[in-house]
Amino acid sequence: MRWNLVALLSAAGLLACGDPNRPAESDSSVITASTTPSTGNTAGGSDTTDTSAPTTADPSASGSVGDPTEGSATGTTNGTTVDPATTATTGDDPGMVVSIEIDPLDAIITVVDGVVPAATQYSAVGVTNKGIKIPVTGTWSFDKLDLAGIGDQSGMLSATGFAGGVGTVTFEGAGELPAATTSATVKLLFNAEPNPVPPETKDLFGMAVDPDPAMVLLYPYDKTVFPRGLIGPTIQWDGGGANDLYYIHAYSEFFEYKGWHNVPPPSRFDFPKLPTDIWLKLTASTEGDVKVDIARFDGQKAYLAKTQTWTIAPANLTGTVYYWEVNNGNVVRLNIGATAPEQFIQKPPGVACVACHSVSKDGSRIAASFHGGYSPWSTIDAASGNVLYYPDLASGFQAIAPNGSHVVWGQSDESGALKLTTFDSATPLAQLTVPGGMPEHPVWSSDGSKIAFARKTDGNWLDFNNSELWLVDVDLMTNSFANAHQIVDKIPGLTTTTFPTFSPDSQWIAFNRLNQARTRAAVTEVWLTNLDGSSVVRLDKANASASSSPARTRPPTSRPSCPSRSAVTRGSSSAPSASTATRSPTPTRPPGASSCGSPRSTATSPRAPTRATRPSGSRARS
Query: Where is pLDDT greater, at 18 or 324?
Result: 324
pLDDT at position 372 is 82
- Among 271, 288, 268, CA closest to 279: 271
Measured CA distances, 49 to 46, 77, 269 (Å): 9, 20, 76
Give the length of the chain: 622
Instruction: Delimit the CATH 2.60.40.10 region(s) of the chain.
Output: 193-315
Architecture of domain 317-621: 6 Propeller (2.120)
Percent over 70 (pLDDT), the chain: 73
Average pLDDT over residues 4-11: 30
> pTM above 0.85?
no
Least confident of 135-139, 522-526, 556-560, 593-597: 556-560
Q: What is the mean pLDDT of the chain?
A: 78
470 forms beta bridges with 453, 486
pLDDT digits (tens, 9 = 90+) for 105-116: 999 999 999 999
Query: Residue 91: what pLDDT?
Result: 56
- pLDDT band of 413, cuts 50, 70, 90: very high
Count Cα atoms within 13 angstroms, Cβ side, for 595. 28
Q: Where in the chain is the domain with CATH 2.120.10.30?
A: 317-621
Average pLDDT estimate for 108-137: 96
How far apart (Å, rounded) are the C-alpha atoms in residues 233 and 341? 16
What single letter denotes the amino acid at residue 63? G
| Rounded mean pLDDT, 289-309 | 97
- Digit-coded pLDDT (tens) for 542-589: 776 644 333 333 333 333 334 433 333 333 333 333 333 333 333 333
Task: Please state, in angstroms and rounded to a whole number, the distance separating the CA atoms of residues 232 and 225.
Answer: 12
| Helical ranges in 47-101 per DSSP H | none
Measured between alpha carbons, how far is 44 from 41 in angstroms, rounded to an integer?
Answer: 9
Q: Nearest Cα to 613, choosing from 221, 293, 218, 216? A: 221
CATH fold for domain 193-315: Immunoglobulin-like (2.60.40)
Looking at per-residue pLDDT, the higher value among 199 and 542 belongs to 199
Separation CA 505–CA 283 (nearest Å): 26
Q: Classify domain 98-187 at the CATH superfamily level.
A: Cadherins (2.60.40.60)
Residue 64: pLDDT over 60: no
In the chain, which segments carry CATH 2.60.40.60? 98-187
- pLDDT band for position 444 (cuts 50, 70, 90): very high
